[in-house]
Structure 1
Amino acid sequence: MTLQARLDAFKADFRAGKPPYSVPAAVIATMDRATDELIASGAAGRALKAGEQAPDFALPAEDGTLVSSRDLLARGPLIVSFYRGVWCPYCNMELQALQAALPDFRQAGANLIAISPQTRVNSRKSVRQNELDFPILSDAENTVAAMFGLRFRMPDYLIALYRDVLRNDLPAFNGDASWTLPMPGRFVIGQDATIRYAEVNPDYTRRPEPSDMLPAVRAASLARA
């Protein structure tokens, strides 16, 4: 089953209220409103694109190690995946799909990292829960996500929904009270820091297949030969 097929199946069950899910229609309508408004804002179109230069960054991994994009690029192409957090089932399914594709990425000479705004404690949970063999980096206040053009602040009505109805305490998950998130995004970066693949979607239920990145990864690997 493809990643998107898994995501669509989960979404259908969630919206149908199949156990263990029981979400009122008004909650789903509010979440849909926020997604539609983010799409309409054009924010995704302002994110970094293929052909542009990726910024340098260094962030702590789940084990506390400082991971530098410059150091990773010295070894080969770099795949960067931004996701919302361990609390997001769509993100967890994406991480699992990336893990399944990891041997192909490594065979092509690339390293893979994922970045979220969550604390290192929650990043460790992401690694353990999804059985990952690649690092999860903690991006406090979505600072690096903003450098890639992905950061957005949740609208007040969605904050109220998360806080008061869903009991999803993002300030606790992330260790900051900004109520910001990254739009899910994936980038393949060549050793010259040029972005060779960029995919950003303001609809968090839509994610490309990991295999979609392989042509760009292989091209970036050939360019360094």
Structure 2
Amino acid sequence: MRQLIFFFTLAFSAFLSAAEVTNIAAAPEKVSPLLPGINAPALHLKDKSGNTIDLSARYREKISVLVVYRGGWCPYCSRQLAGIQKIESQLIKMGAQIIAISPDSPEALAKSTVASPHYQLLSDNEMQMSQALGLAYFLDDNTALAYRNKLGVNFVDLDGKDKVALPVPAVFVIDKKGLIQFQYANPNYKVRLDESVLLAAVKAASQL
């Protein structure tokens, strides 16, 4: 069962993120991503320019391909984003838009080479969206040493110990009512969704 950690009051040291722990699993294998048929979280996130984006409004515009990735530093994520960009024109013809979310700050997103009016990068640097989607997990202590204060997001657990969290990479297809129609998440961050499967999922959602 996924480990649920509930916080009401958190004391943060100066170097820790102000992120709040509400739903972070103990390991990637223990996450529980939201399933098709459930409403997608409609939060407010920042774009690369620091503008606030209302996801509920974005959902209503078009079918949304929501890509959750670990960060621009991750080579597997970069390849995935590039692969989706290659099929962007096909997705647009189906009436879809692409929204890619990561723990990267807006400043880090501004350095991305992804540039398209149909392909938006958003910052989830407090991992509220990752937690709401059921994708957030804590890194083990050894792995966290390589990530701490560099990559991922810092939290404080119930015992007062600081930990680093990341999202399990995932792809959701969300219809204009905000319902999840397709979901793919794999605890093995090296394995990503094939673009042909994504095209099929968007086609099916567009015909509903």
> Same fold per TM (> 0.5)?
yes
Q: Could you tell me how far apart the structure 2 residues matched to 1:88 and 1:64 are?
A: 22
> Which of residues 104, 115, 122 is equivalent to 2:101?
115
TM-score where L is the length of structure 1: 0.71
Question: Which SS does the other structure have where 1:203 is aligned?
Answer: coil
Question: Which SS does the other structure have where 1:125 is aligned?
Answer: coil
Q: CA deviation at 1:171?
A: 2.6
Sort the Cα spacing of 1:137 and 1:125 in 2 relative to 1 into closer, same or farther, 3 A. Answer: same
Aligned match of 2:180: 195
Question: Which SS does the other structure have where 1:188 is aligned?
Answer: strand
- Taking the TM superposition and a 5 Å limit, the aligned residue runs for 1:74-85 are 74-85=60-71
Aligned-residue CA RMSD in angstroms?
A: 1.8
Q: Could you tell me how far apart the structure 1 residues matched to 2:54 and 2:195 are?
A: 23
Aligned match of 1:183: 168
Q: Percent identity?
A: 29
Q: CA deviation at 1:200?
A: 0.3
Aligned match of 1:52: 38
- Taking the TM superposition and a 5 Å limit, the aligned residue runs for 1:1-225 are 38=27, 41-43=29-31, 46-126=32-112, 128=113, 131-133=114-116, 134-160=119-145, 162=146, 168=147, 170-173=148-151, 176-178=153-155, 179-223=164-208
Q: CA deviation at 1:172?
A: 4.1
CA contact (8 A) 1:94 1:207 kept: yes
Aligned length: 173
CA contact (8 A) 2:66 2:171 kept: yes
Question: Which SS does the other structure have where 2:39 is aligned?
Answer: coil
Q: Could you tell me how far apart the structure 1 residues matched to 2:94 and 2:60 are?
A: 15
Q: CA deviation at 1:47?
A: 1.0
Q: Could you tell me how far apart the structure 2 residues matched to 1:137 and 1:110 are?
A: 17
- Of Structure 1 and Structure 2, the greater helix share is in 1
Which has the larger Rg?
A: 1
- Of Structure 1 and Structure 2, the greater strand share is in 2
Q: CA deviation at 1:181?
A: 0.3
Gaps of 5+ in 2: 1-25, 156-163
Gaps of 5+ in 1: 1-36, 163-167
Q: Could you tell me how far apart the structure 2 residues matched to 1:198 and 1:63 are?
A: 29
Q: Deviations over 1:153-193 (max 9, x none)?
A: 11111112x1xxxxx5x53455x533110000000001122
Question: Which SS does the other structure have where 1:152 is aligned?
Answer: strand
Q: Deviations over 1:106-147 (max 9, x none)?
A: 110011010000111111122x2xx43222110022110000
Q: Which residue identity does 2:182 align to in structure 1? A: Y
Question: Which SS does the other structure have where 2:65 is aligned?
Answer: strand
TM-score where L is the length of structure 2: 0.77
Q: CA deviation at 1:211?
A: 2.5
Q: Could you tell me how far apart the structure 2 residues matched to 1:71 and 1:209 are?
A: 28
